[in-house]
Structure 1
């Protein structure tokens, strides 16, 4: 089967090439998926650059989410049958014609969605659910602040928060992105290049939860934005990992600072999360409250171009590969 290999060099054109490997065979509890579409995510770029190695036992091939058809099933798998249309969260291996995955980490392709749209769901839906609704404990009537609101995660977070009855304040780097976030459902959408974010958020009454993908540069802004008993959830640090925080402000406002990663979680925990996402998010998709927005599509052998598109930062929604 075709796979995308990482070679020497950190630029996508020099680092990603097409290779050949044997088709993997499903072990007990696994399914083999014929990949019809694979999501491209920022952690893929970080891994390509040598800073996010695959966890023990996971494929070294890039790709954290796919959609396709079940090609074969391993011993003990009862839910799925050959030919079923599924999407799945992976520890790696998605940039390929075939991939095996723990059968518990797969979900049915929602009715009305094609493979490309379904491939854009697992990484974003799982990440938002576990961080915003579990770690951040967002509830109906509360306000969620989303930094990087037009990323794949941001687009999903806007829709899921609105589906849950929350108010959304979105921040983006340009006027066009701010307009896109507003069109996606954000109640207030701010352009960081022209607006005073702290003043605007304060005027809006502050926020209860922050979904932070920016990191160090927005630490002070987040502390100012959060209301009493607010929750600050960090899932990426694009502007740096280190910052200085006044702990007394954390105590006086009774804040919670938390964060998580998804890829390294144990298989049983991912299975629990998959079941929770299916029970909560899949009905929202069926009801039309959530859609999968695709920014760009590339053939598998153009993975380098897909990475370049994501790195350019102009996308609204997901980039996907089509084997």
Structure 2
């Protein structure tokens, strides 16, 4: 089969190339999917650079989310048949014509989603669902969602708003991104440019000094102190990445104690298969069937920044690294 490979195992964008490799065979409990489209994520860049190896037992090929049709069913799989249209999540291997996936980690493609829309769902939406579940977000609470124009940010904003967020505040780095976000149906109620505004000050202004109950954070170091300042009493923050770095210097910890804050780190890819299957099961019941494309009528919608053919995989990675995207990057095969 054709797959996106990396010269010498790790490198820059120019190291990506389309080559021939052995087609995977589904093991017991797995299905083999003929890939129609796959999503591009920031973790893919880290893996390409040799900084984020896939979990043990996963394919070394980049890519964690896909849409496609089942080509073969492994031993013991009873709920799926060849030809079924699905989307799903894997530890690796999605940048290819075929990918082997656990039968518990796929679900039926909703009729209202294109192949491209479907490929934009698994990693971003399940990560956002997981994040708001971890911080126990409740209707009537205020939320702060960082990197609001990212795939996870767009999903988290919609989830928080639809689940009854009293105020859903999101940050981004440009006025174009913020204008786009505020115009989304079920998107954030307020936007803040974290480069030109003090987001902690804006949060206090918007919440009339109370702060937000929950924060979903990606930047890490650069936002940490202001995040503590932004949280209300008994506030909860989940950290999903460390995009700006992991070391915070000269940090005043008093807010953590004084406000009784709860701070938790979370990952998805490195979790056990059982944990992922249970999370996916909850997501399927609560969110999956309510997803539509950008022009649909559902409460949750996918938004594509750009769609690239497989032959332009390097351009897709350049687009991701530019930090100018608003919505999801998808590649078709």
TM-score above 0.5 = yes
Identify the residue that residue 284 of structure 2 maps to in structure 1: 278
Distance 1:124 1:84 in 2: 23
1:4/1:301 contact within 8 Å kept: no
Distance 1:187 1:158 in 2: 9
TM-score between both structures, scaled by the size of structure 1: 0.96
Report the more deviating stretch, 142-151 or 297-306: 297-306
SS at the partner of 2:66? Answer: strand
Identify the residue that residue 320 of structure 1 maps to in structure 2: 330
Identify the residue that residue 98 of structure 2 maps to in structure 1: 98
Identify the residue that residue 239 of structure 1 maps to in structure 2: 244
Matched, 1:297 2:301: no
Identify the residue that residue 199 of structure 2 maps to in structure 1: 197
* Cα RMSD (Å): 1.3
Equivalent residues in 2 for 1:1-323 (5 A)? 1-8=1-8, 10-13=11-14, 15-133=15-133, 135-166=134-165, 167-184=167-184, 185-205=187-207, 206-244=211-249, 245-285=251-291, 288-323=298-333
Deviation of 1:246 after TM superposition, in Å, equals: 3.1
Distance 2:213 2:272 in 1: 29
Question: What CA deviation, in whole Å up to 9, does each residue of 1:252-303 have, x standing for no partner?
Answer: 1010000111111111111101101001112432670111111111111221
SS at the partner of 1:271? Answer: helix
Question: What CA deviation, in whole Å up to 9, does each residue of 1:22-68 have, x standing for no partner?
Answer: 22111110000000000000000011111100111000000010000
Which stretches in structure 2 are left out of the alignment for 5+ residues? none
Deviation of 1:80 after TM superposition, in Å, equals: 1.1
1:28/1:75 contact within 8 Å kept: yes
2:229/2:255 contact within 8 Å kept: no
Deviation of 1:236 after TM superposition, in Å, equals: 0.9
1:105/1:271 contact within 8 Å kept: yes
SS at the partner of 2:260? Answer: coil
Distance 2:230 2:57 in 1: 41
SS at the partner of 1:240? Answer: coil
Question: What CA deviation, in whole Å up to 9, does each residue of 1:144-201 have, x standing for no partner?
Answer: 1011100011111111111211131011101111111111221001112332322211
Distance 1:107 1:306 in 2: 26
Which stretches in structure 1 are left out of the alignment for 5+ residues? none
1:294/1:320 contact within 8 Å kept: yes
